[in-house]
Amino acid sequence: MWILNLLVTALAAFLAAKFTPGVTIESYWSAILLAIVLALLDFFVKPILQFISIPVTVITLGLFLLVINALIIILASYIVGSVHVDGFWSALLYSVIFSVVSWVLQLIFGNIGA
């Protein structure tokens, strides 16, 4: 089941890139690799960044988490060479669009991971 979840995440990443100016994903295989890298970064790096930024996150009422998501997207684009992000603002917009597209695909396909 995790493979289907990975494929749906890759589809969400690919579709979100089509709607985001400044973000390009060269192929669907690149989107699959991006989904794998994002999953690893979300598991290993994101909790550390969230813990370090607790005071800023509290002060901004959670909005700083969007900045962390953008930083994770930028880091993933450096790791996956065939994914290009023009800058911070493109990454921030991409992370929001990616979240919305993922949510819509979860509504369509159901909760695959469960």
- DSSP run (H or E) holding 86: none
Write out the residue range of the structural domain in which residue 89 sits.
2-109
Give Cβ neighbours of residue 37 (< 8 Å, ≥ 6 apart). Answer: 76, 79, 80
Q: In total, how many domains does the chain have?
A: 1
Q: Is residue 80 part of a domain?
A: yes
Q: Is residue 114 part of a domain?
A: no
Interatomic CA distance for residues 86 and 108, integer angstroms: 30
Contact criterion met (CB below 8 Å) for 32 and 10: yes
**Residue 1 has what DSSP assignment?**
-
Q: For position 79, what pLDDT does the model report?
A: 97
pTM for the full predicted model: 0.91
Sign of CA dihedral 55, 56, 59, 64: negative
pLDDT in tens, 6-63: 999 999 999 999 999 999 999 999 999 999 999 999 999 999 999 999 999 999 999 9
Q: Is residue 16 part of a domain?
A: yes
pLDDT in tens, 62-114: 999 999 999 999 999 999 999 999 999 999 999 999 999 999 998 988 766 55
